[in-house]
């Protein structure tokens, strides 16, 4: 099976879906001539032309709204935000227009569109460029929120997102674009809303999504050497969340740690813990712990940034705590 980068996987998904359906177009800053700030759209303008791969001015609110309008009348826009940090300017369109149009029109106007771009911190980009937005977006009924952590998931889920008739927020990771993984040559689509056990184990469940899947697998490797068998559950989609998969893993291991990139308060982990206490109350052998970014804006200095981020060390400590090993 070919091994390709997360970036190439996304590029393949876009190309294949644009070949498949001429209503699909890509719009955003630097997507065409520059071929993408992160080169996700490399070669697409050359193949599909400037009407289908559209450079915009720096106007997130504006072009997010353009996508909404195009989707209302039957096109299938993929709106790229150079990063989700900039998408904050477009939230009125994402939340008030895209998420609510179907409902407030009494079912008349569906929104077949994707908002996508890198989410979360990279390295030393400081406070305004280092934020994980999924809990904000997952709060909103009418949206789907997808957070692939591997090239395989990135491709299969982006194809599903483009084919979905609902607005899908698709959160990639700047630090993920260069990561590699196996991606089959033949066509596949991964259903939105389905979690996946990325590694089986029976001592403790480590539930995570997005970029943190890499940390979780690292933790599982390390703890395996100590004889601790960690089951890693990758949510892949945080709205709708796969409650069945969460329930299954926690009932199996009776212990859970929830790992996420974003902040603690009202985070994704808080929702996961709520499902666990409802569905697995009698199965728990320890309180569920959470690992997340420290409750501060992201600092610039390398040492402080490292301390602010969730990492393997913090996760291992949490896992050992729920196993009463420390």
Binding residues for other proteins, per CB under 8 A?
21, 23, 25, 51, 56-57, 59, 61-77, 92-93, 96-97, 101-110, 112, 141-142, 144, 160, 162-166
Catalytic status, residue 292: no
Strand partners, 205: 231, 256
Residue 325 φ/ψ region, left for φ over 0, alpha for ψ in the -120 to 50 degree band, beta for the rest = alpha
Catalytic residue among 16, 129, 279, 294: 129
DSSP 214: H
DSSP 176: T
Q: Which is nearer to other proteins, 93 or 315 (CB)?
A: 93
Contacts of 172 (CB under 8 A, 6+ apart): 6, 10, 40, 116, 117, 118, 119, 148, 154
Q: Which is nearer to other proteins, 75 or 304 (CB)?
A: 75
| Least distance to other proteins, CB of residue 207, Å | 24
Q: Which is nearer to other proteins, 89 or 284 (CB)?
A: 89
d(CA 86, CA 20): 30
CA atoms within 13 A on the CB side of 174: 18
In contact, 107 and 162? CB cutoff 8 Å? no
Q: Which is nearer to other proteins, 114 or 298 (CB)?
A: 114
| Least distance to other proteins, CB of residue 139, Å | 14
Q: Which is nearer to other proteins, 180 or 194 (CB)?
A: 194
| Least distance to other proteins, CB of residue 147, Å | 18
d(CA 33, CA 246): 43
| Least distance to other proteins, CB of residue 268, Å | 19
Burial of 186 (0-12, 13-18, 19+ CB in 10 A): exposed
Query: What's phi and psi for 102, nearest 5 deg?
Result: -60, -45
DSSP 299: P
Which element (helix H / strand E) includes 224? Answer: helix 212-224
In contact, 201 and 227? CB cutoff 8 Å? no
Catalytic status, residue 60: yes
Catalytic residue among 8, 17, 29, 60: 60
Q: Which is nearer to other proteins, 88 or 175 (CB)?
A: 88
Contacts of 129 (CB under 8 A, 6+ apart): 83, 85, 121, 122
Q: Which residues carry out catalysis? A: 60, 129
């Amino acid at each position: 099976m070919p091994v390709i980068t997360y970036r190439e996987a996304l590029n393949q998904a876009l190309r294949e879906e644009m070949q498949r359906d001429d209503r699909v177009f890509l719009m955003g800053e630097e997507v065409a001539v520059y071929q993408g700030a992160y080169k996700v759209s490399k070669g697409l303008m050359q193949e599909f032309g400037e009407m289908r791969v559209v450079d915009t001015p720096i106007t997130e609110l504006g072009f997010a709204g353009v996508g909404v309008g195009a989707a209302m009348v039957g096109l299938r826009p993929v709106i790229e935000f150079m990063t989700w940090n900039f998408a904050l300017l477009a939230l009125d369109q994402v939340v008030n227009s895209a998420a609510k149009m179907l409902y407030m029109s009494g079912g008349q106007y569906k929104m077949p569109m994707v908002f996508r771009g890198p989410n979360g911190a990279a390295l030393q980009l400081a406070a305004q460029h280092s934020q994980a937005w999924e809990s904000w977006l997952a709060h909103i009924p009418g949206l789907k929120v997808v957070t692939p952590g591997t090239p395989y998931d990135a491709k299969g889920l982006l194809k599903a997102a483009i084919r979905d008739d609902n607005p899908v927020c698709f959160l990639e990771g700047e630090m993920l674009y260069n990561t590699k993984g196996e991606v089959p040559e033949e066509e596949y689509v991964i259903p939105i809303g389905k979690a996946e056990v990325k590694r089986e184990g029976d001592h403790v469940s480590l539930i995570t999504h997005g970029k943190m899947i890499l940390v979780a697998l690292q933790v599982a490797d390390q703890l395996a050497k100590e004889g601790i068998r960690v089951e890693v559950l990758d949510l892949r989609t945080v709205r709708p969340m796969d409650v069945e998969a969460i329930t299954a893993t926690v009932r199996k291991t009776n212990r859970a740690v929830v790992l996420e990139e974003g902040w603690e308060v009202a985070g994704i982990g808080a929702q996961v813990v709520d499902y666990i206490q409802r569905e697995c109350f009698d199965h728990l052998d320890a309180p569920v712990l959470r690992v997340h970014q420290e409750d501060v804006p992201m600092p610039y200095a390398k040492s402080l940034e490292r301390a602010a981020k969730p990492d393997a060390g913090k996760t291992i400590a949490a896992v050992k705590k729920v196993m009463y090993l420390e």
